[in-house]
Structure 1
Amino acid sequence: MESPEYGWFNHSNGNGISPRTNGANELKDNLMDITTAATVGQQRISAGLLLWLIINAIIFVFILAGNALTIVAVRTCRNLRSVISNLFILSLAISDFIVGVALPYHVVFYMGSGLDLGRLRGFCLFRFFLFICACCVSILTLISIAVDRYIAVIYALHYRRYMTRRVAYMIITLNWCVGALVAMIPIFWNKWSAAQGCEFDEVLLPWYVAGVITPGFVIIWICMLVFYWRIMREASKQAQRLRQSVVYNTHSSHSMLHPDWKSVQIVVFIMGCFTICWLPYFSVAIAQLFRMCRSNSMIYKIAFSLAMANSALNPIIYSWKNAGFRRAFAQTLCCKSASCCRIDADLELHLPSDSVKQRIDSNSSNGYAANAETKPNEKLSTQCQVAQ
């Protein structure tokens, strides 16, 4: 009687390979398939990480270039420095420039060498301080600019009394102090001892994200929406009054209506960019509290890149759309004298101000005053060789 082993071994295929050998080969093939699938998955993850790094590198270049150009333009152009509103734009450019400087430091924690860097408590907490402080000051400066433009429109005749240079410096100092204070909270209260890695959801306390950071963003977003909505309404009312007026000629009324239409455009642009850039990030931050998303996931990385993109868009929104800044940018890039960077205070705000009303009064008393002023402006723009 044949043994079971001998009987099984005797049942072979035509090539002389037993079923037991076939089973071993199939198991080996399955293991190879699993290994290949894991390797492909790692390659896909590496490709996704590489794409994310390229996107952040592009954002990094735009942040540094745009904000550095804005800082140099304000510091080198005397007429830009003389406008109080540009002090807020200068503070915004400095805070956004720090965001750009902090971006590589944040990204390196997702690289191979950054994994070892995240085990050091000081480097990890400094990552949160630098990122939170710069972003907080940037957002607070945005609401300060909204308040400044609100006063310039709603209380145009009293703008010089309410918004002095001293008041502007006090507001800017307060923004930086609040930003530093908010960023210092994770240094003293954190979950570093129980954290498995240097990630936002691992180190930051839930009450800090849900009770400080997120409510602060919601309040600032609502205030900006209210202020710019009131600004747009007031600009529309002033435009209607100018249309119905019979005192001013067609050319002067058209020049006055142009900044009002630009105010509507810039309100939509400001709120749209601010919402698209920051709302996904804070939505992900809330999802992290409920363990629906992690800081090392691709969803968080995409939301983080959108938030960083706001610092690259701010120079375009608040500086490039201004004719005076464009002249100063041209002078900076062409290495020419800064005496050519003349600025119009009305265009600087893109909104009607008290200087607009003074120009209207001067036009009504002397119809040729405006024409006398436009000629040197035309020569000046020709000298600068900047397209209006």
Structure 2
Amino acid sequence: MESTEETATVPSTIAFHHRVIVASIFIASSIIGLFGNSLVIISVITTKKLRTITNILVVNLAVTDLLSCACFPFLVIGLLSQTGQYPLHESICASVVCVLHTCVLCSASTLVVIGFIRRYVITRSIRGHQGFHTPRKIISVALVIWMFSAAYMILPPVLGVGKLGYSTYYGICAFLVVTRPAFYYVTSQGILFATILLLTLMFYGLILHHVMRHNQQFREKFASEKDVFSTSGDANQSKGSSSPDSPTPMIKAINQKEVEITKNVFLVVCIFIVCFLASSVNFIIPGSSLSTLYGYMVMMTNSAINPIVYGLKHPNFQEAFKRILCCRRAPLEYVSK
């Protein structure tokens, strides 16, 4: 979150009760996020079925969200301060901003890459994606994401565009705009997050379009085969049509699968839009306002929601979560030798 440098003569601040509301949500998000993201990481480490190539990026996403949630208590300290100063050392506040912004950008970029990888794998044959879909290359992509996110956060203060510190107006650790060129940095952040949002929508939209088109082809194929069987005069027609392998049950299964995939993709996209759209608008049109604080809060809570979206909606993660929470030993098929 960016904030204009406040003057000493006009100590305007956001009402304290709004800061208490935001602090309360940050505390709840921190508890949920630390617990949920830890479960995701432990599940992938201890469950053989979850140690897939794609889940490397899911773990990367969980790590960024875990670090973000670990920083939330330091934001709460500033929000609840009524002295106009950050209660702890200023360097702690600056470090929190640096880690948070790096993790947020890394998390958003990871979501885009996950969408790209899923589309790449779904829309191509196994031979087509083996050359790219390897552990070494996915880990390299994750490292590039981290380096880009860290550089994008560290370089502007180093170049004197702004500074990291405590915003007395918002009562929160933030990137403080102190020079005119910072406008370009703020605008570039808005454009960057808007681009990330559009890319995420595009990749998941392409996945949904491909699945719906693929299922439509299956329905047409089975429907045509059913017409052929109905006019063939085969003596075993009635027996075959009632078998579990007949076209009609398969069409129903395909329809059910299409609805389920549509719901999951719609949920992912909607949550991403809600969490990032408000802050993207505030980045493009900066200014000190109450909506900026709440928009920042909503964007940060995405770190606590991601484990629910990418974990609880996956059957293997559900099983792993239940096993860990119930302290059960993993079955042989879940444990690597």
Structure (1 or 2) with the greater helix fraction: 1
Matched, 1:224 2:200: yes
Against the structure 1 CA distance between its residues 130 and 252, is the aligned structure 2 distance closer, same or farther, given a 3 Å change threshold? same
Match of 2:290 in 1: 298
Separation in 1, partners of 2:164, 2:329: 56
What corresponds to 1:284 in structure 2? 282
The residue number in structure 2 matching 1:200 is 175
Which residue of structure 1 lines up, in the alignment, with residue 152 of structure 2? 182
Question: How far, CA to CA, are the matches of 1:160 and 1:257 in structure 2?
Answer: 29
Structure with the greater alpha carbon radius of gyration = 1
Separation in 2, partners of 1:123, 1:114: 17
State whether structure 2 residue 115 is matched by structure 1 residue 146.
yes
Q: 1:70 — aligned with what?
A: 40
Deviation at 1:164, TM superposition (A): 1.3
| Deviation string, structure 1 residues 274-309 (Cα, Å, up to 9, x no partner) | 111111112223332xxxx32xx5322211121012
Work out whether 1:95 is the aligned partner of 2:64.
yes
Within 1, Cα distance between the matches of 2:211 and 2:333?
Answer: 27
Corresponding residue of 1:249: 246
Paired residue secondary structure (1:336):
coil
Partner Cα distance (2:87, 2:178) in 1: 11
Structure 1 residue 256: Cα displacement:
5.0
Which range is displaced more, 271-280 or 44-53? 44-53
Partner of 2:187: 210
Question: What's the % identity of the aligned pairs?
Answer: 22
Aligned residue among 21, 26, 47 for 2:17: 47
CA distance in 2, matches of 1:73, 1:194: 36
Q: 1:266 aligns with which of 246, 252, 264?
A: 264
Q: Which runs of 5+ in 1 are unaligned?
A: 1-41, 344-388
- Structure 1 CA distance, aligned partners of 2:177 and 2:298? 22
Q: Point out the structure with the larger strand share.
A: 2
Gaps of 5+ in 2: 1-12, 226-244
| Residue in 1 that maps onto 2:214 | 238
Q: Which range moves more in the overlay, 130-139 or 279-288?
A: 279-288
Using structure 1 for the length normalisation, give the TM-score: 0.68
TM-score relative to the length of structure 2: 0.77
Counterpart residue number, 1:129: 98
Q: Distance in 2 between matches of 1:92 and 1:69?
A: 13
Task: Name which structure has the greater RCO, CA cutoff 8 Å, separation 6+.
Answer: 2
The alpha carbon displacement at 1:85 in A equals 1.2
Q: Distance in 2 between matches of 1:253 and 1:162?
A: 33
Is 1:110 paired with 2:79? yes
Q: Which amino acid aligns with 2:81?
A: G
